[in-house]
């Protein structure tokens, strides 16, 4: 499972180079130095060694000269509580010693702390605004925060109005419905996406038509979209996957030719720009998600924007049971209850206040990963748009190895044993049981399949530090087939 204690051990007679090799192999950033009888006499981290080398120590010099003797250790009988009390940010690994002082086990931060794929950043005014809702009894879908959130969001996207809804999936459903899409219509959607994009189309009674994606953006292939147009095509749903804007000029030209609508799925692309315009403002409707793992979160939540004011008006009514805004309990349509609560909107307003900071934090995390993973043979990084801003969401890599699936799944297991949670990329929609019938006989999705089976999302949460990312990348490199390590 995880690293054994003997993978930390180095003799006090060894040189610095040997200790570095052991650190490299265990991927834990430290060695335990023992004397001839196996008793622990010192500890050295990769940081200690780096500092020693900078101070002029030689790789052939004895490890004894650079090890620390003031390390923290605990008896191997220590309770979990005792261990947790000792682990802290600088002390990530603690040797556990037997009565003779020999290391027989170790405790490490990563055994207790699992790196999640995504964690939100909630240290703005989220709690203050939430408390305000509770104190004033405004906890339902009426209350000032909903309109404040909508207004701020609309300004940010560069649209006149925005409509807050309960999640990203219903944002898509509401947009499609307000634009009149339903039974008998076809909607073109990429094969590589989160299933909610396709589900929302199915809810309306329309038929999703799956198309392959491009290797350069991981988003829908305009050539495939053009080939999928039929007289029944009513809309195209570009999904700006992992924050990367789609080939919008091409898609807009196809939509204009075919006379069909564009509903953008921007659940993963809040803040991303295509040639200077925010995703969500490029089609007839733009749909966003504020689920807990998205760049901006309200726990659950979503937002829709429309190009056409009339569609917005319909959406407002449909969101609220289809009830006439002028005549209470008079229903104009079969509507839905897709409202966002004031509590969620309170969190949303606090998040919007820090949106620039949130984007900077994401850029920093991605730059740190790039630094460790760029140029590593066997790893491809996720694409960056040449045509605008790409707001980074999850840090994804592809394994450019031949036997993707088994290598990828072994890597996921290895990282898990190091306390690192990862995710495979989305499965190709056409392979899953409820959607198989959507793929016409003979249709092929080779790019979607290759990306899906060779991709991994790495921990990308807001709380990651540079040293966490270094640890994750070192565990990752360790799990690459050895021939691929440069
Ligand atoms: C998250 C996501 C959705 C759905 O959003 P929810 O708020 O979870 O309903 C839709 N499409 C894509 C591409 C997503 O990533």
In a domain, 114, yes or no: no
Q: Is residue 180 a contact partner of residue 205, using CB atoms and an 8 Å limit?
A: no
**Choice from 195, 245, 291 to test ligand 1 binding pocket (greatest atom count within 8 A of CB):** 291
Q: Tell me, yes or no, whether 448 and 408 share the same domain.
A: yes
Residue 379 CA, ligand 1 centroid: distance in Å? 27
What is the position in ligand 1's atom list of the atom closest to the CA of 290?
Answer: 7
User: Comparing 52-56, 90-94, 158-162, 433-437, which segment has the lowest mean pLDDT?
Assistant: 90-94
Q: Which residue's CA lies nearest to atom 13 of ligand 1?
A: 194
pLDDT confidence of residue 480: 82
Give residue 168 CA to ligand 1 midpoint distance, Å: 5
Distance 181 CA to ligand 1 centre (A): 19
pLDDT at position 409 is 86
Closest residue CA from atom 5 of ligand 1: 168
Collapsing DSSP to helix, strand or coil, 272 comes out as coil
**265 lies in the same domain as 285:** yes
2 pLDDT band, cuts 50/70/90, is: low
- pLDDT, tens only, 128-175: 999 999 999 999 888 899 999 999 999 999 999 999 999 999 999 999
Which of 220, 238, 265, 279 to probe ligand 1 with, by most ligand atoms within 8 A of CB? 265
How far apart are the C-alpha atoms of 220 and 169, rounded to whole Å?
19
Cα 440 to ligand 1 centroid, rounded to whole Å: 25
- pLDDT for residue 404: 56
Give per-residue pLDDT as tens, 333-343: 999 999 999 99
Of the two residues 112 and 414, the one the predictor is more confident about is 414
With 50 as the cut, is the pLDDT of residue 425 above it? yes
Angle ∠(308,311,314) on CA atoms, nearest 5:
155
Q: Looking at residue 484, what is its pLDDT? A: 45
Angle among Cα 432, 434, 438 to the nearest 5 degrees reads 85
Q: How far is the CA of 195 from the centre of ligand 1 (A)?
A: 8
CATH code, domain carrying 443: 3.90.1150.10
Check whether 96 has a pLDDT greater than 70: yes
| Mean pLDDT confidence for 28-53 | 93
Rounded to the nearest 5°, which phi and psi values hold at 155? -60, -45
Residue 404 shares a structural domain with residue 334 = no
Q: How far is the CA of 425 from the centre of ligand 1 (A)?
A: 14
The alpha-carbon radius of gyration of the chain (Å, integer) is: 27
Q: What is the pLDDT of residues 181-212, one digit of tens each?
A: 999 999 999 999 999 999 999 999 999 999 99
Last residue of a domain, one of 78, 108, 138: 108
Give the structural domain span for 15: 5-108
Atom of ligand 1 nearest to the CA of 200: 10
Any domain includes 68:
yes
What is the mean pLDDT of the segment spanning 110-132?
A: 90
Same-domain check for residues 273 and 325 = yes
pLDDT of residue 467: 84
Closest C-alpha residue for ligand 1 atom 1: 267
d(C-alpha 294, C-alpha 259), whole Å: 33
Strand order of the β-sheet with 423-424 is 379-381, 395-399, 455-458, 423-424
Same-domain status, 277 and 136: yes
State in Å: Cα 120 to ligand 1 middle. Answer: 16
167 Cα: distance to centroid of ligand 1 (angstroms): 8
Calculate how far, in angstroms, residue 356's C-alpha sits from the geometric centre of ligand 1: 22
d(CA 374, CA 395) in angstroms, rounded, equals 13
Backbone angles phi, psi at 197, to 5 degrees: -60, -45
pLDDT at 58 over 80: yes
Same domain, 237 and 370: no
Indicate the helix (H) or strand (E) that contains 10.
strand 9-11
Whose C-alpha lies nearest to ligand 1, atom 14?
267
Pocket test for ligand 1, best of 166, 168, 208, 280 (most atoms within 8 A of CB): 168
116 lies in a domain?
Answer: no
Query: 372 and 323 in one domain?
Result: no
- Residues 101-119: what's their mean pLDDT? 85
Report pLDDT for 402: 56
Question: For residues 195 and 319, what is the distance between their CA atoms, to the nearest angstrom?
Answer: 22
pLDDT on residue 485: 43
- Stretch 227-232: mean pLDDT: 96
Together in a domain, 30 and 49: yes
| CA-closest residue to ligand 1 atom 2 | 267
- The per-residue pLDDT for 224 is 96
Tell whether the model's pLDDT for residue 418 goes beyond 90: no
If pLDDT is split at 50, 70 and 90, which confidence band does 486 have?
very low
Per-residue pLDDT, averaged over 240-259, amounts to 97
pLDDT band at residue 219 using 50, 70 and 90 as cut-offs: very high
Averaged pLDDT, 46-73: 93
Distance 220 CA to ligand 1 centre (A): 17
Q: What pLDDT is attached to residue 79?
A: 81
Band of the pLDDT at 223, cuts 50, 70, 90?
Answer: very high
Q: Which atom of ligand 1 is nearest to the CA of 301?
A: 7
Question: Considering only CA atoms, which residue is closest to atom 7 of ligand 1?
Answer: 168
Ligand 1 centroid – CA 313 distance (Å) = 23
Of 47-56, 81-90, 193-202, 289-298, least confident by mean pLDDT is: 81-90
Closest atom of ligand 1 to 293 CA is 1
310 domain residue, yes or no: yes
- Split into its structural domains, the chain has a count of 3
Name every residue whose Cβ is closer than 8 Å to that of residue 434 and which is 6 or more positions away in sequence.
none
- Helix residue spans in 237-354 (DSSP H): 248-258, 309-319, 342-353
To the nearest whole number, what is the mean pLDDT of the chain? 93
What is the structure's pLDDT at 294? 97
Q: Is position 308 within any domain?
A: yes
Average pLDDT over residues 267-283: 97
Residues 338 and 362 reside in one and the same domain: no
State whether 307 and 430 are in the same domain: no
Question: Is the pLDDT reported for residue 271 higher than 90?
Answer: yes
Q: Establish if 118 belongs to a structural domain.
A: no
Q: Is residue 119 part of a domain?
A: no
Site to substitute for ligand 1 among 165, 196, 264, 285, most atoms within 8 A of C-beta:
196
CATH of residue 170: 3.40.640.10
Confidence class for position 22, pLDDT limits 50, 70, 90: very high
The reply to whether 332 and 404 lie within a common domain is no
Q: What is the structure's pLDDT at 16?
A: 96
Q: Is the pTM of this model over 0.75?
A: yes
User: Considering 325, 352, 379, which residue would you say is the last residue of a domain?
Assistant: 352
Q: Residue 1 above 70 pLDDT?
A: no
Task: Please state, in angstroms and rounded to a whole number, the distance separating the CA atoms of residues 427 and 193.
Answer: 8
Task: Report the nearest atom of ligand 1 relative to the CA of 170.
Answer: 9
**pLDDT mean over 275-279:** 96
At residue 101, does pLDDT exceed 50?
Answer: yes
pLDDT of residue 92: 81
| 386 in a structural domain | yes
* For residues 52-67, average pLDDT: 93
Residue 386, token pair as written in the block: 């040449």
CB within 6 Å of ligand 1 — which residues? 167-169, 193-194, 196-197, 239, 265, 267-268, 289, 291, 302
Of 50, 73, 108, the residue at which a domain comes to its end is: 108
Helix (H, G, I), strand (E, B) or coil at 20: helix
Whether 398 and 391 have beta carbons less than 8 Å apart is answered as: no
Query: Do 226 and 331 lie in a common domain?
Result: yes
Q: How many angstroms does the Cα of residue 152 sit away from the middle of ligand 1?
A: 21
Position 366 pLDDT exceeds 60:
yes
Return the pLDDT at 268. 98
What distance in angstroms lies between residue 457's CA and the mean position of ligand 1's atoms? 16
């Amino acid at each position: 499972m995880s690293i054994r204690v003997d993978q930390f051990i180095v003799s006090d007679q060894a040189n610095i180079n040997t200790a570095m090799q052991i650190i490299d192999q265990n991927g834990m950033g430290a060695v335990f130095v023992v004397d001839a009888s196996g008793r622990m006499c010192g500890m050295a981290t990769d940081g200690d060694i780096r500092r020693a080398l900078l101070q002029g120590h030689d790789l052939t010099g004895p490890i004894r000269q650079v090890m620390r003797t003031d390390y923290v250790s605990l008896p191997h009988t220590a309770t979990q509580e005792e261990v947790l009390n000792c682990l802290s940010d600088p002390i990530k690994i603690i040797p556990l010693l037997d009565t003779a002082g020999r290391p027989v086990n170790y405790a490490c931060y990563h055994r207790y702390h699992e790196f999640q794929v995504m964690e939100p950043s909630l240290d703005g005014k989220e709690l203050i605004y939430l408390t305000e809702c509770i104190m004033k009894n405004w906890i339902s879908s009426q209350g000032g925060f909903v309109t404040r959130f909508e207004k701020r969001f609309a300004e940010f996207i560069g649209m006149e109005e925005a409509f807050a809804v309960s999640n990203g999936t219903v944002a898509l459903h509401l947009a499609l419905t307000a634009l009149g899409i339903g039974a008998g219509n076809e909607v073109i959607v990429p094969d590589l996406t989160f299933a909610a994009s396709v589900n929302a189309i199915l809810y309306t009674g329309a038929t999703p038509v799956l198309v392959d994606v491009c290797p350069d953006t991981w988003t829908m292939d305009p050539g495939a979209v053009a080939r999928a147009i039929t007289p029944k095509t009513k809309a195209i749903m570009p999904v700006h996957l992992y924050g990367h804007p789609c080939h919008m000029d091409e898609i807009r030209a196809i939509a204009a030719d075919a006379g069909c609508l564009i509903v953008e799925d921007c659940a993963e692309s809040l803040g991303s720009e295509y040639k200077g315009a925010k995703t969500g403002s490029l089609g007839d409707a733009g749909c966003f998600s504020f689920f807990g793992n998205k760049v901006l979160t309200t726990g659950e939540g979503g937002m829709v924007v429309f190009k056409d004011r009339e569609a917005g008006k319909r959406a407002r009514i449909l969101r609220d049971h289809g009830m006439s805004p002028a005549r209470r309990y008079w229903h104009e349509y079969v509507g839905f209850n897709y409202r966002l609560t004031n509590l969620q909107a309170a969190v949303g307003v606090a998040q919007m206040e820090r949106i620039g900071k949130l984007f900077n934090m994401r850029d920093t995390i991605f730059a740190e990963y790039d630094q460790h993973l760029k140029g590593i043979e066997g790893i491809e990084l996720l694409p960056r748009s040449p045509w605008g801003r790409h707001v980074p969401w999850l840090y994804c890599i592809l394994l450019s190895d031949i036997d993707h699936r088994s290598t990828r799944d072994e890597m996921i297991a290895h990282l898990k044993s190091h306390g690192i949670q990862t995710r495979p990329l989305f499965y190709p929609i056409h392979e899953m049981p409820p959607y198989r019938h959507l793929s016409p006989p003979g249709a092929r999705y080779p790019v979607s399949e290759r990306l899906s089976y060779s991709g991994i999302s790495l921990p990308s949460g807001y709380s990651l530090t540079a040293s966490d990312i270094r640890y994750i990348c070192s565990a990752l490199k360790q799990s690459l087939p050895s021939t691929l390590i440069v």
